[in-house]
Structure 1
Amino acid sequence: MYNEKSAIAKWNADMYDRNETGTRDVEFALSVIGGTPRNILEIACGSGRFLVPLARAGHIVTGLDFDEYMLEKISQKAAGLSNITWRRADAVKDEWGTGFDVVMLAGNFLFNLISDMDYEKAQELLIRKAADSLKPGGSVYIDYSYTMHPEAWFDNPGEVFIWEGADSGGNTGHMLLLGSSFDRESGMTYFTRRFELTLAGGTEIKEDIPQSKHFATLEQIHSWLSASGFTIEEEYGGYSREPVSESTDRAIIWARKN
């Protein structure tokens, strides 16, 4: 029997790699980290969108990700680089390693983590694990899609088209988000991720995957950082270094481990 989840994961990795090609967030991260070579750990490195440019900038980089199909894409991008490594790991359950100068929680991973534990506790745990992995004086870099009005983002009973296309194996399809709702009291958002694929051999797959995620407020992130011994040195609401405000859509934080 065909492994449907594997087919979907492979197709999704190809679509991500093809569609998520922006560089502004990567360039901004490089500007904050600076030019002095550092030992950097990226959590949820995916297909290397941040990891490879960091290595090309001269940093020693290590990437962790759970998605084997995303990780498979790094090798070709990193050809000729000796200062880059990556491995498959569960960011919540597995050890990250120690002795890093910088830990990166970029690409909105704080919202998009996958775990079977309480979502808010898992988010806080990522901050603690970042502290444990850093040298004294090291820094964590967080880039998180953020709004002061999450209900405007997440209360959407309709369909949101994400992407469509054919993967490298000839499987075609699309992904939608359906019926999103937001609970202001708990900070939880609920929706369904729908995949509809036609495999190269003609088999059709339709899979609805219920999702629940916790939207952390800036105050919560600040408290988690403080509890883990971090001091915030820089904080922005966007890539033009504007402060977080009613009109911004990100929270970008550079915090130092005391």
Structure 2
Amino acid sequence: MKTTDNLEIYNDPLQYDREYGGYDADVRFILGHLPPAGSVVIDLACGTGRITLPLAEVGYEVTGVDLHEGMLERAREKAAEQGLPVRFLQQDCRSLDLPVSSQLIVMAGNSFQHFLTNEDQDRMMESVRRHLEPGGRFIFDTRNPVPSELAVPDRYEVDAEAGGRRIREVHTETYDPVTQILHCTTEKFTEDGAPLGQDAISLRYTYPLELERLLRQQGFRLETMYGDWSGRPFEAESGQMICVCRIEEP
């Protein structure tokens, strides 16, 4: 599977906003790690602008980048509604060619897990490094691979809402320990059980020391790793790895 084939879960930007638009723990964290006022900030895998727009609101020159044009269209609509001069670009994070560089690049929403192979991760990190100014920071998150949670396939149901109606979702998650990829499928049904279709996503898990080595090989120093966006210390059972890393200066 290619990274570019792994996007169908994002085909409904309005539904994405309904589900995730209210989440702001990462926004609050990033607001506490900003460069001087008025600086350029680059938001990778920006989606519908959940992080991009709050950064622009506080006076930063923000460029949002995403691979999914539908998500970007929604982000542009929201920026126009709020009168925010944000640049949104459709590019692959593995081969960025942006007209700006920055002291801070962010990538949240566990988007790091979309880079499914070592080559994908390397190319993405190389792209980030090319667009960071000397001494600049890269802040991103990725889920922590807790073995007890990944060892057994998981299947569960949730009630949800889509298009103003109640639906039932059946989620199936199966982890492949060889590729370190979690394969997730969501089947959707009406309340009376009629099928509405399904979507799928695959997510790569990276272990803490593996991640630290990747960063070092790509010219970054891991300053801090937190266990969540509130800044709790990282522990074995933490749900996430929040990485604050700085490009190494000569």
TM-score relative to the length of structure 1: 0.78
Q: Does 1:144 align with 2:146?
A: no
1:177 aligns with 2:177: no
Of 194, 197, 204 in structure 2, the residue corresponding to residue 206 of structure 1 is 197
**Aligned amino acid, residue 137 of structure 1:** G
Asked whether 1:243 is paired with 2:224, we answer no
Q: Distance in 2 between matches of 1:154 and 1:72?
A: 38
Contact 2:188/2:197 (8 A) holds in 1 = yes
- Partners in 1 of 2:236 and 2:48 — Cα distance? 33
Post-superposition shift, 1:254?
A: 1.4
Letter in 2 for 1:89: Q
Paired residue secondary structure (1:72): helix
- 1:190 lines up with 2:180 in the alignment: no
Given that residues 99 and 134 in structure 1 are in contact (C-alpha distance below 8 angstroms), is that contact kept between their aligned partners in structure 2? yes
Runs of 4+ aligned residues of structure 1 deviating over 6 Å after TM superposition are none
Counterpart code for 1:187: Q
Equivalent residue number for residue 155 of structure 1? 152
Gaps of 5+ in 1: 1-5, 198-203
Q: CA deviation at 1:186?
A: 3.5
Question: Which residue is equivalent to 1:233?
Answer: 223
The one-letter code sitting in structure 2 at the alignment partner of 1:226 is R
d(CA) in 1 for partners of 2:10 and 2:176? 29
Residue equivalent to 1:80 = 83
Determine the structure 2 residue equivalent to 1:219.
209
Q: Distance in 2 between matches of 1:154 and 1:164?
A: 30
Contact 2:41/2:60 (8 A) holds in 1: yes
Provide the identity percentage.
23
Change (3 A) 1:238 1:205: closer
After superposition, what is the alpha-carbon deviation per residue over 1:109-159, rounded to whole angstroms, capped at 9, x for unaligned?
Answer: 00135xxxx523212321221111111111111122224x14414733423
Query: TM-score, normalised on structure 2?
Result: 0.81
Distance 1:119 1:194 in 2: 26
Question: What stretches of structure 2 of length at least 5 have no aligned partner?
Answer: 1-6
Deviation at 1:77, TM superposition (A): 2.8
Residues 208 and 252 (structure 1 numbering): CA distance in 2 closer, same or farther, change over 3 Å? Answer: closer
- Structure 2 residue identity aligned to 1:81: L
> Match of 2:13?
13
Q: Any idea what SS the aligned residue of 2:241 has?
A: strand
In structure 1, what is the equivalent of residue 107 of structure 2?
105
**Aligned residue-pair number:** 237
Q: Would you say the 8 A contact 2:107–2:141 is kept in 1? A: yes
1-side partners of 2:182 and 2:216: how far apart? 25
CA contact (8 A) 1:165 1:174 kept: no
* Equivalent-residue separation in structure 1 for 2:169 and 2:155 (angstroms): 14
Alpha carbons of structure 1 residues 196 and 45: separation in structure 2 relative to 1, 3 Å: farther
Secondary structure of residue in 2 paired with 1:137: strand
Amino acid at match of 1:15: Q
- The residue correspondences of 1:120-135 to structure 2 (distance < 5 A) are 120-135=118-133
Measured in 2, the distance between the counterparts of 1:36 and 1:157 equals: 45
Query: In the superposition, relative to structure 1, how do residues 159 and 96 fare at CA in structure 2: closer, same or farther (>3 Å)?
Result: farther
- The 8 Å contact of residues 142 and 252 in structure 1, kept in 2 or not, is answered as yes
Moved more, 42-51 or 123-132: 123-132
Could you say if the C-alpha distance between residues 111 and 94 of structure 1 is closer, same or farther in structure 2, counting changes exceeding 3 Å? same
The offset of 1:207, in angstroms, is 3.9
